[in-house]
Structures are given as structure tokens and as C-alpha cells.
Structure 1
Amino acid sequence: MKKTGGDVDEFIAAVTPAKRQRDAAAMVQLMRDVTGREPELWGTIIGFGSCHYRYPTGTEGDAPIAGFAPRRQATTVYLLRTDAHAERLAQLGPHDTGVGCLYIKDLEAVDTAVLRDIVAEDYRKVMEGDTGPATLTVTD
């Protein structure tokens, strides 16, 4: 994955439906507060910071340290592993999960303090190198 260098504000202004656009603006502020970094576009993902990852299998690439994507069906928040947050996720409110994805259909329906804690914990783990089987090197 690579940074595409687009304008984040223009990207968010084009997001539909309106609820997803509202949620994207709120997520930018939440992630900016948690990471202390400015948002950058990685295609259709809004990322904060960047890192290089490498798995024991040899698979490697670049990715944001923290990020989300305002998809039509839900806002997708990218995490290291959702199962590491089981207790907090039980307190979050309505959501779905995948192995490393948290899907939120309406940010106003979830506890944003809990979401902030989840994002902050994942960010801290990356910054401290506690990333499980993958080796992550922060590149900016």
C-alpha cells in the first residue's frame, strides 16, 4: 500500500452517505488526537503515520500506523487484531468485526471514549513494537 497524496478534506467532502461523511470527519479528529499525526490518504484509507511490516512468511509492505476507511456500508477502523480488544469491544456499542477490522455503521451510536481507548492501545503497541507475528518498523 502506498500514500496517494490526495487532499483528505476533499476526499471526505465526497464521501456518501452523509452519515459516513460526518463520521469520517469525527474519526479524523479522534485519530489526530490519539496519534498526534496528521491524516494522509492511502488510496481510500485515511492513515496516520506509516510503518513497514514483515511477516515470518516473508510478506511485507507499507501501511498506516493507524487508519480507517469511510466505506458506504460502514466506517472500517483498521486494528492489529480485534480479539485483543474483546473486553472493550463488549462496551463499545453496535459494531461488527473481522480479524483486524472494526466496522461501525454509526459513530454516534457507539461510545467514542471506548473507541478512543481501542485506537490508542493499538497505536501504543505499534510504537512499542508489540505487534505479534509481524515485525513493524515505524517509518514516519
Structure 2
Amino acid sequence: MAGNKTRPSERSVKDILAAVAPERRADAETLSALMQRISGEPPVVWGSIIGFGNYHYRYGSGREGDYFPVGFAPRKAAFSIYLMGLYLPKTQAERERLLARLGKHTMTKACLYVKKLTDIDLEVLEEMVEMSIASINSAYPDEK
């Protein structure tokens, strides 16, 4: 079975942040500091994503792998904020309540897109990051 394409790498977080457009760099640094503070984990580059923490998942289908509970990528059009625990079914009602308070964004399964941090309520984002981590830790307690 093929493994994940997105894996931890030796790329430098500092280099990724330095490559962000100057007008967006402060937002990227704020996201990094926020996720590191809440997760208690250092940032690690996973492909082109800056991830915080690590968990091992195993699905009923037999697919398994490692991923991060929260992370972000400073893409050109918007920040892609990965909140893996918010995709789990038990978080759906709370996720929708928080998204309604967040501010200007779009959301897919586990990825939140934000153009700039002034468009959103950072306290709500902090709650979402905390919830994502707690949800992953609950779903995969023995899979660290």
C-alpha cells in the first residue's frame, strides 16, 4: 500500500516563513506561534505544510499513516489552515458553531482558507485549533 505523499521533511520552517510575501509574513508568523503555543509542539515541515504534532491513524480499510493534528500552509491566494480533528463526525455541530463566529473564510472537510488574519476572530481560531487537537487525541489515543 502506498504511503502518504505528505511526510515530515528536513526543510527549514524559517526558510518557508522567510519566503512568504512581506505583506503576509507577519500573519504566517502569528499562525506559527499560535499553533506552537496551543499544541506545545515545534513546527515541522510536511511537504509544503508547517505541521504541529504527530499522530498515527489506522482506518478500518487497512490504510494507515502519520499526520499532524494542526498545521498551515502560506499559499499565495490564502492561508490553508489544516484542522484535522474538525473533520471527525463528533466535532461537526461545534465546528459549525465556531465557523459562524469566525469571520471571512471558506472551509472544506478539514481545511480552513483565510486570506488574512484581520478577516477572522483569532480567539475563535484558537478554539478551533484546541478542538482539533483534542479531537485527534481522543480518536487516536494510543496512536502517537
The TM-score by the shorter chain falls in which range?
0.7 to 0.9
Indicate whether 1:101 and 2:107 are aligned.
no
Judging by fraction of residues, say which structure has more helix: 2
Tell me whether 1:88 sits opposite 2:98 in the alignment.
yes
Deviation of 1:136 after TM superposition, in Å, equals: 7.5
Name the SS of the counterpart of 1:2 in structure 2.
coil
Q: CA deviation at 1:19?
A: 3.7
TM-score (norm 2): 0.84
- Which structure 1 residue ranges, 4+ long, deviate > 6 Å from structure 2? none
Higher relative contact order (CA 8 A, sep 6+): 1
Match of 1:9 among 10, 14, 26: 14
Aligned pairs (5 A) from 1:44-123? 44-79=48-83, 80-81=85-86, 84=92, 85-123=95-133
TM-score (ref. length: structure 1): 0.86
Who is 2:24 aligned against?
Answer: 20
Deviations 1:99-133 (A, max 9, x none): 1111011111210000000010110111222x6xx
Return 5+ residue gaps in structure 2 as ranges.
1-5
Check conservation: 1:20, 1:72, Cα contact below 8 A.
Answer: no
Unaligned runs of 5+ in 1: none
The residue aligned with 1:137 is 143
Percent identity, aligned pairs only, is 36
